[in-house]
Amino acid sequence: MEILLPVLAIGGMGLIFGALLAIAAKIFAVEKDERLPLIEECLPGANCGGCGFAGCSAAAEAVVKGEAFANVCPVGGAESARKIAEIMGITAEETERQTAFVMCSGNSDTAKNKYDNNETIDCHTANRLGGGMKECRFGCLGFGSCVAKCKFGALSLQNGVAVVDREKCTNCGACMAECPRHIIKRVPYSAKTVVVCTSKDKGKDTRNACGVGCIGCGICAKNCEAQAITVEGNCASVDYTKCTGCGVCQEKCPRDVIRMLNGVPTI
Amino acid sequence: MLKDLLVISIGAIFIQNFVLVQFLGICPFLGVSKKVETGIGMGLAVVFVMACASAITWAVQQLLILFNIEYLQTIAFILVIAVLVQFVEMFLQKSIPSLYNSLGIYLPLITTNCAVLGVAIVNITRFGGMDFGFIKSVVYGATAGIGFTFAIVLFAGVRERLESSNIPGFLKGMPITLITAGLLSIAFMGFSGLSF
């Protein structure tokens, strides 16, 4: 009896409260869009945040609300966009696949150092130590903070410069956000030519700092038949939509900063 | 009677402020005080839960006394509070989804908010075990909630100002928040001189 009473009292209370809550749940039921779980299934579920939303389920919610398009997920790419579009009953705009690209090729052999660094540190720390050990203010620091951030194993350090494996890259943007120098950029997968430098320094300074830095001479722009290259702020850049991939710019570049992609080996 | 209620109210809001003097319910106090708006929302939710919890736990306590099983207080009260919080959660999700989203995890955490259980326990143990009576209990619960709201809104106001001020690097974030909370608490200690 002594044990029965408390059990009955608490059990009875739980029962009554449970029943009340069940009724309240009916009254205050929130209608969830049935498409929501379906769309979540189409997304990779890595919650990488590459789309700009808090996670995959937040992205799915945005799609249902119409705040995001079917191609919300850069990681899932065209396939997830097609599936989501099917669920939502809209047509997916074909988006071009883009990948990250490290805009620096100043490796241990070509870029000069201000000081030697034997410590194992990350890029952020290195960036604060006198602005990095590289002479160049814009170059890759080569400590691989981006490599550590990449969930897909697409980044690696090669001779002191981070390099993106464009086959593995899912364009989630984690490395771009991580890089203290902001030299990882999105480049269309179909791009044929890339200027692998972002140095805005004057030609002479760039020449002193690095063997493969763009000095903004403009020879590439003058020789480009498609007029796809522009020089701005002492650095050339390629308009990927205009570039025909003829390769003249690469031949003419005195500093060897232009790389041919697709077919021709990178770096 | 009316004077008693006034004394209880002033006491619960200022002199015995649950957060700043009794140090109960610190978790949401620090967690949801980044914006005044969410602070008010959280405060009102706590007011509702505290007032209802006071009323229901008073009834529950009478039952427990009747069957001579008062030692079940804590578990019984937690049960009541959990149900109330569930109810508030459902209500907010349905009618004010934006507030529901901004309160996030702190809303279900009211369940384990010691301030709420504190109110229920204080209600039945005040004045040497003599109980408060139904009306006084409910008034105490509601005003304790108002005191909580008052504290969290004041604190949120200070934190909003802190956002835009130049704080030394080592104090940024939680350190300056805790220091601010301490100063606010000291300020509230000043009310302890208040007497009727």
Distance from CA of B91 to the nearest CA of A (A): 6
Q: Tell me if chain B has a CB within 8 Å of the CB of A16.
A: no
pLDDT tops 80 at residue A135:
yes
Q: What is the rounded distance in angstroms from the CA atom of residue A103 to the CA atom of residue A91?
A: 34
pLDDT tens track for A147-179: 988 888 889 888 888 988 888 888 888 888 888
pLDDT tops 70 at residue B130:
no
Whole-model pTM: value is 0.55
- Could you tell me which residues come within 8 angstroms of residue B14 by beta carbon, excluding any fewer than 6 positions away? B147, B188, B191, B194
| Mean pLDDT for chain B overall | 86
CB A75 within 8 A of CB A173: no
| Mean pLDDT for chain A overall | 83
pLDDT tops 70 at residue B196:
no
Residue A210 carries which DSSP code?
B
Mutate to test the interface with A, among B60, B73, B86, B105 (most CBs of A within 10 A): B86
Q: What is the rounded distance in angstroms from the CA atom of residue B20 to the CA atom of residue B182?
A: 8
pLDDT tops 80 at residue A27:
yes
pLDDT band of A19, cuts 50, 70, 90: very high
The mean pLDDT of B107-129, rounded to a whole number, is 78
| Domain A98-260 bears CATH identifier 3.40.50.720 | no
Fold of A35-88: 3-methyladenine DNA Glycosylase II; Chain A, domain 3 (1.10.15)
Name the residue among B64, B69, B94 with its Cβ closest to that of A28: B94
CB A83 within 8 A of CB A237: no
Percent of chain B with pLDDT over 90: 18
Stated as kind and residue range, the H or E segment containing A232 is strand A229-232
Q: Tell me if chain B has a CB within 8 Å of the CB of A21.
A: yes
pLDDT tens track for B22-69: 898 888 888 888 888 888 888 888 898 899 889 998 888 888 888 888
pLDDT tops 90 at residue A134:
no
Report chain B residues touching chain A, CB-CB < 8 A.
60, 63-64, 67, 69, 72, 75-76, 79-80, 83, 86-87, 90-91, 93-95, 97
Distance from CA of A28 to the nearest CA of B (A): 6
Whole-complex ipTM: 0.74
Domain spans of chain A, in order of start: 35-88, 98-260
A188: alpha, beta or left? (left if phi > 0; alpha if psi -120 to 50): beta
The string of DSSP letters for A148-192 reads HH-SSS-EEEETTEEEE-TTT-----HHHHH-TT--EEEEETT--
Q: Do the first three CATH levels of A35-88 and A98-260 match, i.e. the same topology?
A: no
Backbone φ and ψ of A50, nearest 5°: -65, -20
